[in-house]
Structure 1
């Protein structure tokens, strides 16, 4: 694999993010979600950066191969969104998902985030194992903070104290 670069994405990168994320959601995992359900992908700066969070991309050879995003809520909780890695770049060998998550955790700790939360779907078994290996615990939907922005498709929820 070529040298990996992780950097913040902004609105100029929105089309690249959509081109990576939508096929993974719709084709690979059959999640019934469209771009209309995800306006955050079209205004990365307003939905992530302005909350105090960020949206990162992993680039290999100039190609976007992975993403992760953080929303910071007014009560200093972090919400992980848009964790996707292109199929041929997944796995422990490449380590892209781990590097993206490490980037988000380091940023969160540096910026006073006290707790991380995320939602996912039942079909994403590997993602669930990945989060559990990284210290996230499954929690009932009712235990999410009131500030957690729910996504209609999410059915499983995780949290990790920082």
Structure 2
């Protein structure tokens, strides 16, 4: 089974929201609700309008993963909504890797040189994944002033794409 990575927009908002909220709440007990994430019901305006994007990973036409990009300065952007269904994680499918590579390629093509992200300490596998992909942990106070911080986030990372 090969994953197909493709840009998605509002027509997938319910599928994306279900995938994301199930992982956040049921799997990791993150104290966040759909109401805390209105961006999921306005993908077009929230992500694409500023020069970012939103991608889905599909296996047999089923949405199994997402990743999104918010461009918040001319050459800076934030990764958001990086989620892969539990049964499709790991090296066998490499969905997270393919999603991240798609996003980084988009950044290169669109002169986005710096990628940032926020996450939470309990998502240890995600942090290891980002560090394997050359992200470095940074202190919250060193984030660019326009970085869109999410309330639960307590770990922040940066990747310079130019280097």
- Flag whether TM exceeds 0.5 (same fold): yes
Q: Which runs of 5+ in 2 are unaligned?
A: none
What is the correspondence of 1:143-154 to structure 2 with a 5 Å cutoff? 143-154=142-153
Contact 2:3/2:93 (8 A) holds in 1: no
Q: Which runs of 5+ in 1 are unaligned?
A: none
What is the correspondence of 1:78-117 to structure 2 with a 5 Å cutoff? 78-117=77-116
- Report the Cα offset of residue 92 of structure 1: 1.4
Contact 2:2/2:93 (8 A) holds in 1: no
Q: In 1, distance between residues paired with 2:93 and 2:4?
A: 13
Q: In 2, distance between residues paired with 1:135 and 1:74?
A: 21
Q: Deviations for 1:74-128, whole angstroms, at most 9, x for unmatched residues?
A: 3320100000000000001210000000000000011000100000001100000
Which stretch of structure 1 is more off in the superposition, 71-80 or 13-22?
71-80
What is the CA RMSD across the aligned residues, in angstroms? 0.7
Contact 2:21/2:34 (8 A) holds in 1: yes
Partner of 1:77: 76
Helix, strand or coil at the partner of 1:20? helix
Helix, strand or coil at the partner of 1:48? helix
Helix, strand or coil at the partner of 1:51? coil
- Report the Cα offset of residue 4 of structure 1: 1.5
Across the two proteins, how many residue pairs are aligned to each other? 161
Partner of 1:31: 30
- Report the Cα offset of residue 145 of structure 1: 0.1
Moved over 6 A (4+): none
Partner of 1:7: 6
Q: In 2, distance between residues paired with 1:9 and 1:43?
A: 12
Helix, strand or coil at the partner of 2:102? helix
Q: Deviations for 1:128-156, whole angstroms, at most 9, x for unmatched residues?
A: 00000000000000010011011001000
Normalised to the residue count of structure 1, the TM-score between the two structures is 0.98
1:136 aligns with 2:135: yes
- Report the Cα offset of residue 51 of structure 1: 1.0
Partner of 2:63: 64
Partner of 2:158: 159
